[in-house]
Structure 1
Amino acid sequence: MAQLKKEITLISGVGQLSTTLLGTGLFMVPALAAGIAGTLSLWSWAVLLLAICPVALTFALLGKRYPNAGGTAFFVRQAFNQRLEKSIAWLFLSVIPVGVPAAVALAAGFLQPILPDALNHTLVAQVITVALLVLVNLSGAKSSGRIQSLIAVSILGLVAAFWWFGDVGPSDISMPSVAQNDWVLIGAALSVMFWCFVGIEAFAHMGEEFKSPQRDFPIAIIIGCIIAGATYWACSVVIIKFHAYGSAQFDSGSIPYLANILFGETLSPWINALGFAACFASINLYTQSLSRMLWAQAREYKPHSRIAHLSVSGVPSNATFAVGAVLLISCFIGEFSQLDLEFFVKLANGVFILVYFMAMLSACKLLKGAGRVLAYISLATCTIMMACVGWSMLYALILFALLVCKIKPEEENKIAMT
């Protein structure tokens, strides 16, 4: 059976996860959250980081015990059955038409201003972005990890510069007082903020490629989440101080706005380049994880298909090309549909929360002792997040129900026999 190369180290793993969690989220979610809850969004970040810790730790324990390119789908199979495994696999892949167009469009928005005039078009920038994603993924996890580690350092440097040049003081970082009714706004902000911590489940697909998965994989998840959470909170402080929220122009333009008023317009091309790199890094891990999910399913159920083949360098190249083709189609649909960015984010969050929920439900069965207690806490956290997302969960729940019904018991038995 084909195996992926074990190339990921602890440092590159931390770099990949932290840039994935920051990536597109840093350039839109703090402003969206502040637009919903104002200064109370600082409490939303604190609540979210506290809530995500047990979930991250549970993923770390699962990845340590079951390092596999199938990620959550593999965990579900170990805990339950192949029908649920395939349903979760396809549910995860379903994020392409709702989550990826928003992410690619945001990345292309930063790329477009620095392209030559002949290429200065939204769709052209999106096609270039997808082409670069495919090329980087074909280079292997090791090269990708190095690139994303460099981007992570650049993002941290940018936020630190915002604090320094923005003269952030003690009064800016003091947490606002909270009345009883304010928790409704804090919860509403969480419905878009969960986007910032989707990436842990995608990172689970990379466990098989760690040099020392039992040692390094859980540490990479924990450190990556802490770095991302602290950076989001720090960025939100600056956005709130300079009121870079509350209108459509700030939904994806708060960071360039801050850069212009703090550094001047001369650095605008560099900020655009960093914005593109950060968004690219986030989508890059998803492209990796989606292709590995597709490859893992083909390896398990259709080992002789072209999708199940690896390239000479140990990369699922055919699966990567397939994902790239779907990304292009999704970009065209997303561009012509002209749907609101927040709408896409909420639909994608519904899918991710349900994937997280099923991973935590699997952990309740697979883990023992303190790990199982942690899994139950995480399961409760995911249930609360479902309530916060509200109607947006319908897309994920209806799709998952249809997927579960698609595989009949007789078909599942045939799969098991083969």
Structure 2
Amino acid sequence: MAATSTGPGATSPTTVGAGTSSRADAVRPGPRRGTLTVAQGTALSVGAVLGTGVITLPALAADVAGPASLVAWAALVLLSVPLAATFAALGARLPDTGGVSTYVRRAFGDRAAGAVGWCFYFAIPVGAPPASMMAGGYVADVVGGGRTTTLTVAAALIAGTAAMNAVGLRLSGRVQLALAVTLALLMVVTMSLALPHGDADHLSPFAPNGWGPVATAAAVLVWGFAGWEAVAPLSAEYRNPRRDVPRATAIAVTVVGLLYLGLAATSLVVLGPATGESEAPLSDLMAVALGDGARVLTAVAAVMLTLGAMNAYFAGGSRLGAALGRDGSLPSALARGSGPGEVPRRSLGVLTLGSGLSLVVAAVLDLGLTPLMLLATGCFTLVYVFGTGAALRLLPRWSPGWWTAAVAFVATLGLLVVNGLHTLWALGIVAASLAYRTRTPHESS
């Protein structure tokens, strides 16, 4: 899960799917000029995309495809260009705090907007366990205990995050942005110190498992690139959206691409075949450069980063569920707590229970991170399909922005296909959402 929040410098899931009111009720841009600069917008966009995946994804991708996983990394970086540019074009032309939800509603109507909300809401229970298990792997790397420690830490993070939100405690957007900046600096320092210990021979054979697994690796890596939709709701806060949104987005894409590719390549060159076997690749790289004492630092950073990301998703997701209940896209029992300043404890309870059950299933079936991540990334990818599809209807046809959206739409459809059978989870969520709205028609006020 990429670290997001209501200011996180990014957007919470609430901005992606909350609210299923009529088009006339959609939030419309006002005359107020924002205060966000290009530098601030760049930092927020980078913070939205860099998330928990970076602490483990290099190992997961390498385990699937070996050094050829670099091709998957490069493909996702290239996909980020039209994807981020599409949301930048939407943000520059239609600056609005509603983000993807508003665009999907304007393009396809309330039911489609509700389906996007369901995709995000039900991605959280299957995404929280692997996110928390990533941090648990770093703790286990320091204190030992293997899978038992990993699962214990994961359970503690889920329970702790739920408890924080239940009493109304949330990490501020500034704190979460600081965590993302700390992660970026840690990545740069790690690469700089570890790369001199690398060996280019570790890249051979380049595709030990063949080229087919590269597509699977790309589907997994979507986890680390979710967050570009944050550009859209942030657009209304820029001083000059038409000028500043594209600039900030271009810089953010470059920074994120260099960091991700650099870390993936450094892991493979320095750790070699051991990359795919590592549960804590950043710790292993730091240990190569500075000794085993550095593992404690990276474990603390991994736990804090994960806590920030999970807090953002639980906070935004619980409010999203309450909003969907309020507007008729979920049972009205979940609507309690949807008002300003209220705590949506029922919706939070659904997310917590779902996350706990997913973790139990992972423990009982001895599942690794990949299966649950693919279920979550399928939902994220489907949201991008909706978002880029909306752009094709809202942007001027045949304009540069329209062509960019067309490329992004086709590419995200391709990612949905390579996600394989896991895509059925996301498609099933959409079908269930549409069936629910059909069974329980709701008239917007």
TM-score over 0.5 for the pair: yes
1:13: how far off?
A: 4.2
Measured in 1, the distance between the counterparts of 2:141 and 2:61 equals 26
Structure 1 residue aligned with 2:425: 395
Per-residue deviation, residues 12-43 of structure 1 (Å, max 9, x unmatched): 54334323422211111111111122111222
Measured in 2, the distance between the counterparts of 1:25 and 1:170 equals 23
Structure 2 residue aligned with 1:254: 281
1:162 equivalenced with 2:190 (yes/no): yes
Q: Is the 8 A contact 2:129 2:358 kept in 1?
A: yes
Structure 2 residue aligned with 1:318: 343
Structure 2 residue aligned with 1:264: 291
- Show the 5 A alignment for 1:122-137: 122=153, 123-131=155-163
1:282 equivalenced with 2:309 (yes/no): yes
1:309 equivalenced with 2:333 (yes/no): no
Structure 2 residue aligned with 1:236: 264
Measured in 2, the distance between the counterparts of 1:31 and 1:124 equals 24
SS of 2:271's equivalent? coil
1:306: how far off?
A: 4.8
Q: Is the 8 A contact 1:70 1:296 kept in 2?
A: no
Measured in 2, the distance between the counterparts of 1:237 and 1:82 equals 44
2:416 aligned to which of 386, 389, 399: 386
Identity in percent:
26
- Corresponding letter in the other structure for 1:388: V
The verdict on how the C-alpha distance between 1:383 and 1:221 changes in structure 2, with shifts beyond 3 A counting, is: same
- Corresponding letter in the other structure for 2:349: A
Q: Is the 8 A contact 2:98 2:233 kept in 1?
A: yes
Structure 2 residue aligned with 1:273: 300
More deviation, 209-218/59-68: 209-218
**Which runs of 5 or more structure 2 residues have no equivalent in the other structure?**
1-24, 144-148
SS of 1:166's equivalent? helix
Measured in 2, the distance between the counterparts of 1:406 and 1:362 equals 22
SS of 1:362's equivalent? helix
SS of 1:265's equivalent? coil
Structure 2 residue aligned with 1:185: 213
- Corresponding letter in the other structure for 2:159: V
For the aligned residue pairs, the C-alpha RMSD in angstroms reads: 3.9
SS of 1:94's equivalent? helix
1:215: how far off?
A: 5.5
1:177: how far off?
A: 9.8
- Corresponding letter in the other structure for 1:161: V
Per-residue deviation, residues 219-278 of structure 1 (Å, max 9, x unmatched): 44443332222111111112112336568751x322222222321122222111111233
- Corresponding letter in the other structure for 1:126: I
Q: Is the 8 A contact 2:56 2:281 kept in 1?
A: yes
- Corresponding letter in the other structure for 1:56: A
Structure 1 residue aligned with 2:402: 372
- Corresponding letter in the other structure for 1:15: A
1:386: how far off?
A: 1.6
SS of 2:441's equivalent? helix
Scaled by the length of structure 2, the TM-score of the pair is 0.76
The structure that is helix-richer by fraction is: 1
**Which runs of 5 or more structure 1 residues have no equivalent in the other structure?**
312-316
Q: Is the 8 A contact 1:350 1:393 kept in 2?
A: yes
Structure 2 residue aligned with 1:335: 359
Q: Is the 8 A contact 2:318 2:351 kept in 1?
A: no
1:76 equivalenced with 2:100 (yes/no): no
Scaled by the length of structure 1, the TM-score of the pair is 0.80
Q: Is the 8 A contact 2:105 2:113 kept in 1?
A: yes
Structure 2 residue aligned with 1:406: 436
SS of 1:318's equivalent? coil
Q: Is the 8 A contact 1:168 1:238 kept in 2?
A: no
Per-residue deviation, residues 298-328 of structure 1 (Å, max 9, x unmatched): 786799x6544223xxxxx424x55543443
Measured in 1, the distance between the counterparts of 2:286 and 2:412 equals 35
- Corresponding letter in the other structure for 2:424: L
Measured in 1, the distance between the counterparts of 2:338 and 2:324 equals 8
1:52 equivalenced with 2:80 (yes/no): yes
Structure 1 residue aligned with 2:15: none
The verdict on how the C-alpha distance between 1:220 and 1:95 changes in structure 2, with shifts beyond 3 A counting, is: farther
Per-residue deviation, residues 374-418 of structure 1 (Å, max 9, x unmatched): 111111111111222111111111221221222229926x33xx3
